[in-house]
Chain A
Amino acid sequence: MSLYRTELRRLTKRRFTRYMTLLGLLVLAAVVVGMFFSNQKIDAAAHARAERQAEQQYQDQLRYTEQERAACEQAEAAGTKDGNRFPPQCDMITAPPREAFQAEWFLPSTFDFRKSFGEMLIPFAAILGLVGFVVGASFIGAEWSSGGMMNLLLWRPKRLTVLLSKLAALLTGAFALTVSAGLLWYGGFWLVALFRGSTEKVTSGVWQSLALTGLRGLVLVLAATTIGFALASLGRHTAMALGGVVALLVVGQFGLGILLSMARIPFVEAWLLPTYAAAWMQKKVTLENWEACNATFTGECKPETFDITWQQSSVMLVVGVAVILGGALWAMRRRDIS
């Protein structure tokens, strides 16, 4: 227990932890502030204004249609009709229906908590996941490269206990940060919705759904933190984790994506990790293959689809964390420390 407390103290004492946490929180705060200023509340006047704009555009369209039809008829009578500009019969030039101009298209941007907050949990998890990954990698990587790990093992010669205590302390920190920042995130966007949007129809069911999405975000942050920690421990250097991720992104993701696209493999996104992260957060991601166009009875083209669910993502997440962390524990137990 003393080791765990010591590691927790060490984690919070580190400048890198403090700076990265601050940076992550500033980015999150910037998103909330940005959303606050880029949205506004919709009142009756705004609705009336939008209605007027829709009507205005409809009238403009009517006028334009009349002008074009007249020009078409004139050209037909003069025998100078341009086939590229006009249809075969001039009466085919008709104005779009009134319902094609909906007032809501002319409304300013507004933040509807019920509709939009779920999506905002994805950048939240992504930003804190990145912070967790980098802090996790640095927390153990710097200990290895500075010799701190060897010093500690001279005091507590139980390798797995030392490594797992460090991980436990790190995950405690990541958990505390994510939960506190999460509460602020929920609160911040509630205020955005209150002053710059709507908090209507947020039922207990909606809260439950948002809480579950938040919980999945928390798991993602903890998984990213663990992977950063384990990769740096495997390589015994922070750069191992960061380099590994860059290599994975460049070779394993961009490279693979380009290769599969060139080979015209359907559902290329199914091979890319961000798709699984998105599926984990959104419960389901539906991929579409427009190459295989299935015609419906109305003649409409419908692409072939492939669903990736959060359950599939969870298997991927568990296996990934287990393999990398297992490797780090094995290396800690077996490899000499020199």
Chain B
Amino acid sequence: MPAVLEIEGLRKTYKSRRRGTRNALDGFDMRVSAGQVHGFLGPNGSGKTTTLRTLLGLIRPNGGRMSILGHEVPEALPTVAGQVGAIVESPQFFPHFTARDTLSLLASAGEVPATRVDEVLELVGLRDRAGERVKTYSLGMKQRLAVASALLKKPKLLILDEPANGLDPGGIREMRTLMRNLSESGMTVVLSSHILGEIQLICDSVTIISLGRRVAFGPVDEVLAQHSSGAVRVRLEAVTDLPAATEALTRAGIRVTGQPDHLMLGGVDKPATVTRLLAEQGLYVSELAPIAVDLESVFLELTSTAPVPGQHRQVDQSTKVGGSEQSGTAGGGWGA
């Protein structure tokens, strides 16, 4: 599939006389194929919003290459802007205008037919509240309005930064359905979110960023498979057989962690091997369950942002690709 969005070696450095240099983006790469819903994940301060802002011409990069729909940006942004709908970070609108006025002014600036305003208001469920001032809206309603503004120009590429932020459960489900429908209609959607369960449900592929660099990318299934630990839970008919089973499995080179009523095995390629080994010793398995990984655990593992009891993780403490250090100051941190 052709790439709708390509980023190679993107760099953005912030210099501060007091705090030194911080690499917000440190050679970041990303590729999104046409017609996909692509999840863009990363811990707070990892460079997600900086990437999106840079891509949309709001921030000037220090290096790297970006293209949207085959056009190099930011140079060709005026050409492609009509085909890119985006919301970046929290929805921000002039509080004293109504939703209809807000969209109508945007439509007029972008030379979009005025009839499209009612279509998108209907689509995001704001039809009946369109005449009210934005300042009276809840966060979720503002979020819907932001999505409506992004959809106004019927974009080929839709970039949404935290679109589910502030939505109620029904709204989140509606948003999920909307994303899926948009994707099926041929639109490419880039979705930045921290609701990883949603991303896993909605997205075809993901890119995970940490400290300004890509740490994982590809179809969701592949990313999960790559980071599956091969863990298997084994229960035997008799708990008293657990020590003998531990010994047999360890001899066969399998990592075993004993629990009071079961064993946790690591590095198991084929669970059938376990059954055969134990059967040869006259030990019979009552449960053999591969432990599935989810996107959240992969994310936490890759970015090293899993909470540790007794520790307070700081915003910039996460993983930089190519090294396993918990980085707070090195590389991407202030003063680097």
Q: Is B101 a contact of A147 with CB atoms below 8 Å?
A: no
Distance A151 CA – B58 CA, assembled complex (angstroms): 10
Inter-chain contact A147/B93, CB cutoff 8 Å: yes
Complex Cα spacing A15 to B94, Å: 11
Q: What chain B residues lie within 8 Å of A2 (beta carbons)? A: 108-111
A289 to chain B, nearest CB (A): 47
Q: CB of B288 within 8 A of chain A?
A: no
Chain A residues with CB under 8 A of B56: 153-154, 157
**Given that A146-B95, A147-B93 are contacting pairs, would A155 and B59 also be in contact in the complex, using a CB cutoff of 8 Å?**
no
Contacts of B88 in A (CB 8 A): 150, 154
List residues of A whose CB falls within 8 A of some B CB.
Answer: 2-3, 5-7, 9-10, 13-15, 142-143, 146-148, 150-158, 334, 336-338
**A168 CB, nearest partner CB in chain B, Å:** 14
Is A150 a contact partner of B92 (Cβ separation < 8 A)? Answer: yes
A334 to B59, CA, bound (A): 9
Q: Is the CB of A152 within 8 A of B58?
A: no
Instruction: Decide yes or no: A5 and B108 within 8 Å by CB, A154-B56, A337-B58, A337-B59 being known contacts.
Output: yes
In the bound complex, do residue A336 and residue B109 qualify as a contact, i.e. CB atoms below 8 Å apart? Answer: no
Chain B residue numbers with a CB within 8 Å of A151 are 92-93, 106, 149
The answer to whether B95 and A157 have CB atoms under 8 Å apart is no
Does B78 have its Cβ within 8 Å of any Cβ on chain A? yes
A156: B residues at CB distance < 8 A? 78, 81, 109-110
Q: Which residue of A lies closest to B108 (CB)?
A: A6
Set of chain A residues within 8 Å of B97, measured between Cβ atoms: 13
A243 to B63 Cα, complex, angstroms: 37
**A148 lies within 8 A of B92 (CB):** yes
Smallest CB separation, A159 vs chain B (Å): 8
Q: How far apart are the CA atoms of A334 and B153 in the complex, in Å?
A: 28
Nearest-neighbour CB distance to chain B for A150, whole angstroms, equals 6
Q: Are the C-beta atoms of A336 and B77 separated by less than 8 Å?
A: no
The chain A residue with its CB closest to the CB of B109 is: A6
State how many residues of chain B have any CB contact under 8 Å with chain A: 29
User: B227-250: which residues lie under 8 A (CB-CB) from chain A?
Assistant: none
Q: Nearest B residue to A334 by beta-carbon distance?
A: B60
- Are the CB atoms of B58 and A150 closer together than 8 Å? yes
Interface residues of B in 51-95 (CB under 8 A from A): 53, 56-60, 74, 77-78, 81, 84, 86, 88, 91-95
> Cα distance A148–B96 when bound, in Å?
12
| Chain A residues in 8 Å Cβ range of B77 | 157
Cα distance A313–B92 in the bound complex, in angstroms: 42
On chain A, the residues within 8 Å of B109 by CB distance are 2-3, 6-7, 152, 155-156
A38 to B212, CA, bound (A): 72
User: A2 — nearest CB in chain B belongs to which residue?
Assistant: B111
A217 vs B108: C-alpha distance when bound (angstroms): 34
B105 within 8 A of A: yes
Report the separation of the CA atoms of residues A7 and B96 in the bound assembly, to the nearest whole angstrom.
16
Once A2-B108, A13-B97, A143-B94 are accepted as A-B contacts, the answer to whether A154 and B86 lie under 8 Å apart by CB is yes
Tell me the smallest distance from the CB of A236 to a CB of chain B, in Å. 13
In angstroms, Cα B111 to Cα A10, docked, is 15
How far is A142 from B93 in the complex, measured between Cα atoms in Å? Answer: 10
Given contacts A146-B93, A334-B60, 9 further A-B contacts (CB under 8 A): A6-B108, A6-B109, A13-B101, A13-B105, A14-B96, A151-B149, A155-B153, A156-B109, A157-B74
